[in-house]
Chains A and B, each alone.
Chain A
Amino acid sequence: DTGVSQNPRHKITKRGQNVTFRCDPISEHNRLYWYRQTLGQGPEFLTYFQNEAQLEKSRLLSDRFSAERPKGSFSTLEIQRTEQGDSAMYLCASSGVGGDYGYTFGSGTRLTVV
């Protein structure tokens, strides 16, 4: 297994455009998480899937953000009508079932909104 894969690695977009990121988790992991990280800060929780079900979503998350995980495999995160404040690193992580598992993070997608 090659770990958690995220595409694209970098995305530059104009304000107001929509963007979509993809995450391919470790195949045997049924839990998938999206986090956002800005410079000098720790990752901030966005949303969580168990298999195909989106079970948790941050209350701070704007309705411009939506995520899917069809068939419980890969996941996509879409941001509509991007704003400059959306510029950040978007990290995907996955984990297995059980209490002793940490998160395996992907390398992230760096979004720059100009």
Chain B
Amino acid sequence: QQPVQSPQAVILREGEDAVINCSSSKALYSVHWYRQKHGEAPVFLMILLKGGEQKGHDKISASFNEKKQQSSLYLTASQLSYSGTYFCGTESRRYNFNKFYFGSGTKLNVKP
């Protein structure tokens, strides 16, 4: 039931764009996105609750395709500060926390 993230790792130059995908074999109620820098706690980026919902702030946005049970995170004009490991977390049923699973992460490295 753990969602599958792709790619596993990405190397970018500053200013380039990236897409990280998160796919589940189960129907989804919500998708969370987090970023974790080395040795630090995961930081909440956004939650998507409805199929087809797109959210974003600054140059980071995400979409949720409920039918395909997929979500994608879009990083535009990447900055050095975007480096870290990105995790999606998926919830199949609201408030069923035993069923909240994180993917294994996508490591993003932005170089000058």
Contacts and interface: CB of A to CB of B under 8 A. Distances in A.
A106 interface: yes
A104 interface: yes
A35 to B, nearest CB: 8
B49 A100 contact: yes
Interface stretch (B13-21, B35-43, B71-79): B35-43
Interface size class of B (residues with CB under 8 A): 20 to 34
B41 A42 contact: no
Interface string B95-112: 011101111110000000
Task: Please classify how large the interface on chain A is, using the bins under 10, 10 to 19, 20 to 34, 35 or more.
Answer: 20 to 34
B94 A102 contact: no
Contacts of A44: 102
Given A56-B98, A58-B98, A106-B41, A100 B47 contact: yes
Interface of B: 2, 30, 32, 34, 40-47, 49, 87, 89, 94, 96-98, 100-105
